[in-house]
Amino acid sequence: MTDKDNKGSMTVAEAGRKGGETVRNERGREFYETIGRKGGATVKAERGRAFYEEIGRKGGETVKAERGAKFYEEIGKKGGDRVKATRGPNFYEEIGRKGGQKVKKLIEEGKRAAREAAAPATGNTGHEPSKG
């Protein structure tokens, strides 16, 4: 091929970008949201929840290595400030109360399960021992 033959050619990346822009202009943002949801559902069905947990963990480790733990502090504060501005300080009181109730319930269930598990272990079958 001569230089003349290559005139006007583009890289694969350039072609992909151009094609993506064309689709975006023709079909809009909703199209990408729809196909993204469908793709995510397919991956979830094929690979399961553990796959997403694993890639999320790996991504988090990569970001932490690149940006440091301080990055998470900063974005957490920004997110908290945004939620407070949007929902108000009472929102945190409400979710704190709900969380506390959930923890209390879980502790009670754990204690109940421990008592039930311990009862047979003590040998108490509900029968009086024979005297003989």
pLDDT digits (tens, 9 = 90+) for 63-97: 999 999 899 999 999 999 999 999 998 998 999 99
Closest CA to 61 of 72, 48, 73: 72
Residue 63, both tokens: 């970001």
Question: What is the crossing angle of helices 69-87 and 49-67, to 10°?
Answer: 110
Strands (E), the chain: none
Measured in degrees and rounded to the nearest 5, phi and psi for residue 89 equal -65, -25
pLDDT band at 3 (very low <50, low <70, confident <90, very high): very low
Please provide the average confidence, as pLDDT, over all residues in the chain.
87
pTM above 0.85, yes or no: no
Query: Tokens 């988090």 correspond to what residue?
Result: 60
Write down the pLDDT at residue 86. Answer: 94
